[in-house]
Amino acid sequence: MTHIGEDPSREGLSRTPERVERAWRELTQGMRQSVDEVVGQGVFAEDCSEMVLVKDIEFYSLCEHHLLPFFGRVHVAYIPDGKIIGLSKIPRIVDVFARRLQVQERMTVDIAHALQRILSPKGVGVVAEARHLCMMMRGVQKQSSAAMTSCLLGSFQSDSKTRSEFLALVRSLHHG
């Protein structure tokens, strides 16, 4: 704090280091969690082959380049092949990767590959859209810009009909 001209002994700042430490532990809890841990017993045998989509999953993360927040929504879909996952587990998987020092591109891919590993589905699709405070508060200072990333695996990549259905559902159902 002294490097930016503040007095760390000032009343309003005297307990700030402890508060920051607690906040950072919470904001980076995904670094101390594994996907297997949060999924637990949440995978079930099921003869289902229709697309499962969980949309508008809010996330908050920290850019590893500037340690500033980026936040937005993730849309996750998969086509089962004998196994399904409890719907509440998908946002938990998102949080495991979001609650780390991160870049949006890697987070998107990591979510998709985690579902692929756990379920061995016919396909996985993940789209993430986010606002980055490192672009809004500093640097180019663009307030309305959003970054979009996607990762398509299996039938979402190889079958244009599946890919189109997923992207159309994401567009039509989005409430952001």
How many domains does one find in the chain? 1
Residue from 66, 113, 116, 157 carrying the catalytic annotation: 66
Taking 60 as the threshold, does the pLDDT of residue 175 lie above it? Answer: no
**Does any domain span residue 155?**
yes
In the residue annotation, 104 being an active-site residue is answered as: yes
SS3 8: coil
**Does any domain span residue 46?**
yes
Residue 37 domain boundaries: 33-173
In the residue annotation, 134 being an active-site residue is answered as: yes
pLDDT in tens, 96-141: 999 999 999 999 999 999 999 999 999 999 999 999 888 888 777 6
In the residue annotation, 64 being an active-site residue is answered as: yes
**pLDDT at position 161:** 95
**Does any domain span residue 88?**
yes
Phi-psi region of 88 (alpha: psi -120 to 50; beta: other; left: phi over 0): alpha
Which whole number is the average pLDDT over 72-78?
A: 97
Taking 60 as the threshold, does the pLDDT of residue 42 lie above it? Answer: yes
CATH number at residue 152: 3.30.1130.10
Pairing of strands 69-79, 83-85: unpaired
Which whole number is the average pLDDT over 29-38?
A: 97
